Chain A
Amino acid sequence: MSTVQQETLAGSKSAGNIWVKRAWPWLACLVIALLAPTVLSSGHDIHMLSSMAIMMVFALAYNMLLGNTGLLSFGHAVYFGFGAYIAMHALRWSNNAVLDGTGYGVPIELIPLVGGLAGLFFGIIFGSFSTKKAGVVFAMISLGVVGLVEASSLAFTGFFGGEAGLFGDREDVNSLLGIEYGRSLTVYYLMVFWLFVCALLMFLLRKTPLGWMANAVRDNPERAQFVGYNTTTVRFMQFSLSAFFAGVAGGMFVLVEEIVTDEAIGFLLSGEVLLAAYIGGIGFFFGPIVGAALVVYLESNLSSISDAWLLYFGILFITVVMFAPMGIVGIIYQQWFNFRSGGWKGTIPARLYCTVTALIGLLGFICIVEMAYHYLRSWNPSAPMTLFVTTVDTTTALPWLVSVAILLVGLGLMLFHARPMLRRAVEAAGGNK
């Protein structure tokens, strides 16, 4: 039986089933997104959720380059930033129009679209020369562009608002739906709307001729040319579309923050989005979504718990790059696959043992880092320091010794006992890790 027949048969018999299969992750995400504010309901949490939605759009846009086209950009915040600034100008213009009573302005729901068009515009301009080559050349040019733009953001204060940035007001704008967006919860739902629209579009884009050829150009640019495709054009179009979605994220940012500063356009954000996409897993569509959620969560919570949060962040990134280049979603996918095919049978105790020892080692490491930060950075190192459930004095030797001991025991057990044990268990079960 030919596959066409199979497809049509499957189509007529179980079209519903296929749709359920395809749609359930989306529906599940939608339910989670809609219900999240009932659990995370403080002002801080809702702000965090909105930031997650923004970062998800941005990271997905970024992955159109890195994951789908194989272009490593160090400066994608440029398009986020231009999207944000121009969306902010649109918002301010609309504010004035409403306050003067002179006009209607841009309705608030469409401000992200303004950002998107701005991103697209600048994507076309900078993409026209930066996508001529892939690889190192592209990466270097992206670095040059973000440097150039960040520098000009301080020079052209009229457009960028200088160091203080630009303010707008989301309450004094017209709404298509007649909704007041004063409450951050209402804005959050608008963010969810844009997130789903963008995510769905980017998901579908991967399945178009352009999306396919982006993969082809990533894997074998030479062959792509010999089937009729101009690799530069493919990269350029992917780049411009990616800049569009980055700009949408910038526009969303404006509605949540009501302020834009040069942070929205510079190196730091460019690095952050790379991190988010990579940690989540650039080989999976949902990778950047998970990565963005994690990065924003850590940023908004870890930073208030620990001064060393940036260090943990860096270590997390290095760990993923070195030991799990497929990212978090990649690991989950792999383990799930493994689990389903019975690869976990008989190895669960070993797996648990491995995880627990690793966590013990991690605990010891965190204690050392926290104490070091306290010792080196506090005015008075001998002041008592709260560390988890105890209080320690970092000028005495005991807490250090205990921490190092915890680290060594955890790490040692994991490396020299738990891992070999897991390996043996896996071999005995005849599966793979």
Chain B
Amino acid sequence: MSQGNALTLSGLKKNFGRAEIIRGVDLDVRDGERHVIIGPNGAGKSTLFNLISGRMEVSAGEIKLFGKPIHNTPPHKVNRMGLSRSFQVTNLFQNMTTMQNLRCALLWGMGHKYAFWKLVNKQQEVTERAEQLMEQLNLTHRRDVPAGLLTYAEQRALEIGTTIGSGARVLLLDEPTAGMSRSESDEVVELIRQVTKDCTLVMVEHDLGVVFNLADRISVLVYGEIIATDAPENIRSNKAVQEAYLGTEVH
């Protein structure tokens, strides 16, 4: 069954104390697809990402990445298995420059690990890849600016860059366009389209324009349960979805 699936969630549950936030989620994310998760505020989308990426332990159920169980695995191990995530609230190395942030993101994936016998700046491959990324992110002119001093949109772009830097096969992006202007958001979507050409994307997004534009399939998460997973056009016409979610926001 899990053949051809990048991610498989089955019977996934998460409680905080007595509050059930994720209440039995089953979801298959196909290899290579762009899968967008939508749902009202507080539905548990970020929590779902936290479970998948190893930031939180699951209360019940299991998560498989290319058939290998990854639930309750520490984040760095999940990352090394080829899954990388971004954060809804920007989460960078604030004191480091754009260039340094990208290099940090690249080091492990390019095999430098904990090496203390070689200099980072002498690793030509890392430098070139980081510069390439910077070009894609439109941040080349901000190369030596500390991340904390970048504008919000630039920080969001760097957040994406840091996430894709490690060369993961599965990307989780949590609201990458939140708080951006129309044009900024369009740029980011274009960037996401580019960099996810040959990997799997799972993304949380509120902007329905972006969602229907980008998604191969959409899942709707409401109160910790997935009420529908389908192609965009079917989601649009799905009665349950309209009642629970779309109807209240799109007129």
- Taking CB atoms, residues of chain B closer than 8 Å to A233 are 114
Q: Does chain B have a CB within 8 A of A299? A: no
B94-137 vs A, Cβ < 8 Å mask (1 yes, 0 no): 11100010011101110011111111110000011001000000
Q: Does chain B have a CB within 8 A of A223? A: yes
Q: Does chain B have a CB within 8 A of A389? A: no
**Interchain nearest-CB distance for B169 vs A (Å):** 14
Let me know if A208 and B92 touch, CB within 8 A.
Answer: no
Let me know if B114 and A213 touch, CB within 8 A.
Answer: yes
Let me know if A209 and B91 touch, CB within 8 A.
Answer: no
Q: Does chain B have a CB within 8 A of A322? A: no
**Interchain nearest-CB distance for B211 vs A (Å):** 24
Let me know if B96 and A226 touch, CB within 8 A.
Answer: no
Q: Does chain A have a CB within 8 A of B76? A: yes
Q: A203–B118 Cα gap in the complex (Å)?
A: 12
- Taking CB atoms, residues of chain A closer than 8 Å to B143 are 3
Known: A209-B107, A227-B79, A227-B107. A222 touches B91 (CB 8 A): yes
| Interface of chain A, main secondary structure | helix
A205-218 vs B, Cβ < 8 Å mask (1 yes, 0 no): 10111111101100
- Taking CB atoms, residues of chain A closer than 8 Å to B114 are 209-210, 213, 229, 233-234, 237
Q: How many A-B residue pairs have CB under 8 A?
A: 101
Nearest residue, chain A, Cβ from B111: A209
- Taking CB atoms, residues of chain B closer than 8 Å to A211 are 116, 120
B68-100 vs A, Cβ < 8 Å mask (1 yes, 0 no): 000000111001100011000001111110001
- Taking CB atoms, residues of chain B closer than 8 Å to A209 are 107, 112-116, 118, 120
Let me know if B107 and A212 touch, CB within 8 A.
Answer: yes
Q: Does chain B have a CB within 8 A of A4? A: yes
Q: A234–B94 Cα gap in the complex (Å)?
A: 19
> Contact partner of B94 among A219, A224, A227, CB < 8 A?
A219
Q: A231–B112 Cα gap in the complex (Å)?
A: 15
Number of B residues near A (Cβ < 8 Å) is: 40
Let me know if A226 and B85 touch, CB within 8 A.
Answer: yes
Known: A208-B119, A212-B120. A223 touches B91 (CB 8 A): yes
Let me know if A227 and B96 touch, CB within 8 A.
Answer: no
Q: A220–B89 Cα gap in the complex (Å)?
A: 13
**Interchain nearest-CB distance for B202 vs A (Å):** 15
Q: Does chain A have a CB within 8 A of B165? A: yes
- Taking CB atoms, residues of chain A closer than 8 Å to B75 are 222, 225-226
- Taking CB atoms, residues of chain A closer than 8 Å to B140 are 2-3
Q: A13–B11 Cα gap in the complex (Å)?
A: 63
Q: Does chain B have a CB within 8 A of A290? A: no
Q: A327–B94 Cα gap in the complex (Å)?
A: 22
Q: A231–B143 Cα gap in the complex (Å)?
A: 26
Q: Does chain A have a CB within 8 A of B166? A: yes
Let me know if B116 and A223 touch, CB within 8 A.
Answer: no
Q: Does chain A have a CB within 8 A of B8? A: no
- Taking CB atoms, residues of chain B closer than 8 Å to A204 are 119
Q: Does chain B have a CB within 8 A of A228? A: yes
| Most-contacted residue by chain B among A212, A215, A231 (CB, 10 A) | A212
> Contact partner of B116 among A205, A215, A216, CB < 8 A?
A205
- Taking CB atoms, residues of chain B closer than 8 Å to A208 are 115-120
Q: A211–B114 Cα gap in the complex (Å)?
A: 9
Q: Does chain B have a CB within 8 A of A175? A: no
Q: A65–B94 Cα gap in the complex (Å)?
A: 20
Nearest residue, chain B, Cβ from A283: B95
B144-180 vs A, Cβ < 8 Å mask (1 yes, 0 no): 0000000000000000001001100000000000000
Number of A residues near B (Cβ < 8 Å) is: 30
Let me know if A228 and B76 touch, CB within 8 A.
Answer: yes
Nearest residue, chain B, Cβ from A208: B116
Let me know if A213 and B116 touch, CB within 8 A.
Answer: no
Let me know if A219 and B96 touch, CB within 8 A.
Answer: yes
B51-71 vs A, Cβ < 8 Å mask (1 yes, 0 no): 001010000000000000000
Q: Does chain B have a CB within 8 A of A300? A: no
Let me know if A228 and B109 touch, CB within 8 A.
Answer: yes
Let me know if B105 and A227 touch, CB within 8 A.
Answer: yes
Let me know if A213 and B104 touch, CB within 8 A.
Answer: yes
Nearest residue, chain A, Cβ from B84: A226
Nearest residue, chain A, Cβ from B80: A228
Q: Does chain B have a CB within 8 A of A230? A: yes
Let me know if A4 and B108 touch, CB within 8 A.
Answer: no
**Interchain nearest-CB distance for B17 vs A (Å):** 22
- Taking CB atoms, residues of chain B closer than 8 Å to A4 are 127-128, 131
> Contact partner of A241 among B112, B116, B127, CB < 8 A?
B116
Nearest residue, chain B, Cβ from A207: B119
Let me know if B96 and A215 touch, CB within 8 A.
Answer: yes
**Interchain nearest-CB distance for A407 vs B (Å):** 40
Q: A231–B108 Cα gap in the complex (Å)?
A: 13
Q: A225–B76 Cα gap in the complex (Å)?
A: 5
Q: A220–B128 Cα gap in the complex (Å)?
A: 25
Let me know if B93 and A216 touch, CB within 8 A.
Answer: yes
Known: A225-B74, A233-B114. A220 touches B91 (CB 8 A): yes
- Taking CB atoms, residues of chain B closer than 8 Å to A216 are 93, 96, 104
A230-259 vs B, Cβ < 8 Å mask (1 yes, 0 no): 110110010001000000000000000000
**Interchain nearest-CB distance for A199 vs B (Å):** 16
Let me know if A212 and B74 touch, CB within 8 A.
Answer: no
Let me know if B120 and A220 touch, CB within 8 A.
Answer: no
Other 16 A-B pairs with CB < 8 A, given A213-B104, A222-B75, A228-B109: A4-B128, A207-B121, A209-B107, A209-B112, A209-B118, A210-B114, A210-B115, A211-B120, A213-B107, A215-B95, A215-B96, A224-B104, A225-B79, A226-B76, A226-B85, A227-B79
20 chain-A/chain-B pairs, Cβ below 8 angstroms:
A204-B119, A208-B117, A208-B119, A209-B107, A209-B113, A209-B114, A211-B116, A212-B107, A216-B96, A219-B96, A222-B75, A223-B92, A224-B104, A227-B104, A227-B105, A227-B108, A228-B109, A229-B76, A229-B108, A230-B74
Give the A-binding residues of B (Cβ under 8 A): 53, 55, 74-76, 79-80, 84-85, 91-96, 100, 103-105, 107-109, 112-121, 127-128, 131, 140, 143, 162, 165-166
Nearest 7 CB-CB pairings of A with B: A228-B108, A210-B116, A225-B75, A209-B112, A228-B79, A208-B116, A225-B76
